[in-house]
Structure 1
Amino acid sequence: MTAGATTRKVLSDAQITELLGLMTGADSVELKLTVPESHQASTVSALGIDPLQAQIRQVFFFDTPELTLSNHGVVVRARRVQAKGDDSVVKLRPVVPHELPAALRKSASFGVEVDAMPGGFVCSASMKGAPAKTDVRSTVLGGAPLRRLFSKEQRAFFASHAPEGLALDDLAILGPIFVLKVRLQPKELGRRLVGEAWLYPDGSRILELSTKCAPSEAFQVAAEARAFLAGRGIDLSGDQETKTRKALDVFAKPLRAAAAPGA
């Protein structure tokens, strides 16, 4: 989804060429738009979103107080999902699809996706799993080893990309973030649209709208989604925020402050 016509952020020719190359090797594309807080209420109304239909999610990130993993392009996360169960992921970004090992691409738990938003994009590789020997809640509350939330494949993927000497069990718990997720099927759009409201402990929130598609149809879907949202009067020109980075910053800052000399 791109921004509105008057302030729309436009990719350069070099960026478009890079994006096309990444999509060629990706499994999917997710088009994303974050809505400014000042326009979130009107967006909810324009799309006819019913908050009582939302699925509740509780998201935990794991990193050091200095965000060592994030600064190395690694994201480690676990979630509790209402009426669905727990899951976990180890994500690496940015990546270049054709540079990834062939053995990884063959894994059913591994995927490569391009996230595209107004004025930018990033390609990521994710190793997904579901805790088999424990659950997220008891692990974070009981202080059990974090590695138990991740599969053998996930632990190997983490070890291959995390800074040397940093283990899963060394990470701090950053969270939880409460998330409300709704799925919409607007007739005019002809495809599913997802809305996620991320509620941060500092009182701020991010509302993200997204839709997934095959790489081959990304530009067509982006144009259709932009037209649909603009037709509903939704602001497409706001600055884009990253849900994950904001969550990491919100929770890591007090940990750093507590560890500072004289704290």
Structure 2
Amino acid sequence: MGPAGCAVTGIGVRSLRSHVTPEIGQPLSGRYAVPDVPAFLDECDTVELKAVLTEAEGRRAARSLGFDLADASTRHVYYLDTPALALEAAGVIVRIRRNGDAGADTTVRIRPADPAALDPELRRRKGFNVELDMAAHGFVCSASLKTRLAGATVAAAVSGRTPPGGLFTPRQRRLFQAYAPCGVGLDGLSLFGPVRVQRLAGTARGWQQPLALQLWEFPAEPVLELSSKVAASDAATAVARWPSFLDLHRVIPRLFRHTKSQTALRVSAPRPAYG
């Protein structure tokens, strides 16, 4: 146990601000360069390749890829944090997501994470995933535990009628308590959002793996993320081919100052999640 009864974490957590890029929306110069793959790739479950674009660029890319955003499904994404963003500073992300008529889910994520230091018992649990994200600025590893819920259950929580802690399983609460700052509890957090997200999934010319397009409708600067999630065993081949696939469709990723979760926390006014 750490100070004041706080649990000592098994995941090495660095400040997310170490991954902040210098300019919002700065286009990459030249061809997309593949960053060095971390040595612990074999300890991950999945790898997600990502390219983030402005809305206008994203819509052009979607047409080239053969995707019609008019067919997208709608999600509403919320985050929980303190008004001062203490969870973000500790590398803890707590997300609530409503998936239209398809239900809802909650996720507790540690980002960045050291896969070698994870609790073995948690790693065996359904819904627990260790993922390596490849974006324009490099790789970041995360560990997350997700659970699916009924949409009505989530609706009651995000409207403030029920405490948000009830949306999370005992194992999710255990993961949260292990890495959250001392004295921070789920039911005392503020709710940020929702952010409306338009999502499409499918395939495209020049890429054998499934693709997803997500248009995050942030108020001032919507962004579109193109991504492909692959098994770690297929990652080496996919990572090597990703730049050529982007070139084929003239997709030029941009550097953004904040991740999607960080942006959502900054563009939303916090409100008490309960009470």
Q: TM-score range by the shorter chain?
A: 0.7 to 0.9
Work out whether residues 203 and 209 of structure 2, in 8 Å CA contact, stay in contact via their aligned partners in 1. yes
Whole-angstrom distance in 1 between the partners of 2:163 and 2:151:
11
Alignment match, 2:242: 225
- Answer with 130-139 or 149-158: which moved more: 130-139
- Answer with 101-110 or 26-35: which moved more: 101-110
**CA deviation map 1:160-195 (0-9, x unaligned):** 111111100010000001001101212431221110
Alignment match, 2:57: 39
Aligned residues, how many? Answer: 244
Matched, 1:6 2:7: no
Alignment match, 2:261: 244
**CA deviation map 1:94-130 (0-9, x unaligned):** 1111111111111112111111112311111101112
Alignment match, 2:108: 90
With over 3 angstroms needed to count, the CA separation of the structure-2 counterparts of 1:81 and 1:132, relative to structure 1, is: closer
Work out whether residues 60 and 174 of structure 1, in 8 Å CA contact, stay in contact via their aligned partners in 2. yes
Displacement, 1:52?
2.4
Displacement, 1:134?
6.0
Q: Aligned partner of 2:93: which letter?
A: V
Work out whether residues 179 and 199 of structure 1, in 8 Å CA contact, stay in contact via their aligned partners in 2. yes
Indicate the SS of the match to 1:31: strand
Displacement, 1:41?
2.9
Q: Aligned partner of 1:6: which letter?
A: G
Alignment root-mean-square deviation, CA: 2.2
Alignment match, 1:158: 176
Whole-angstrom distance in 2 between the partners of 1:159 and 1:112:
19
With over 3 angstroms needed to count, the CA separation of the structure-2 counterparts of 1:52 and 1:134, relative to structure 1, is: closer
Matched, 1:63 2:87: no
Correspondence for 1:215 among 224, 232, 235 = 232
**CA deviation map 1:27-46 (0-9, x unaligned):** 11001110134522321221
Alignment match, 1:128: 146
Whole-angstrom distance in 1 between the partners of 2:185 and 2:150:
20
Work out whether residues 94 and 109 of structure 2, in 8 Å CA contact, stay in contact via their aligned partners in 1. yes
Whole-angstrom distance in 2 between the partners of 1:204 and 1:187:
29
Indicate the SS of the match to 1:209: strand
Q: TM-score, normalised by structure 2?
A: 0.82
Work out whether residues 93 and 109 of structure 2, in 8 Å CA contact, stay in contact via their aligned partners in 1. yes
Q: TM-score, normalised by structure 1?
A: 0.85
Q: Aligned partner of 2:266: which letter?
A: D
Alignment match, 1:146: 164
Whole-angstrom distance in 1 between the partners of 2:48 and 2:63:
23
**CA deviation map 1:120-155 (0-9, x unaligned):** 111111011124796111111133111011111111
Q: Aligned partner of 1:195: which letter?
A: L
- Percent of aligned positions with the same letter in both sequences? 34
Q: Aligned partner of 2:249: which letter?
A: R
Moved over 6 A (4+): none
Indicate the SS of the match to 2:75: strand
Correspondence for 1:106 among 114, 120, 124 = 124
Displacement, 1:65?
1.1
Work out whether residues 217 and 223 of structure 2, in 8 Å CA contact, stay in contact via their aligned partners in 1. yes
Matched, 1:168 2:157: no
Which ranges in structure 2 are unaligned for 5 or more consecutive residues? 1-26
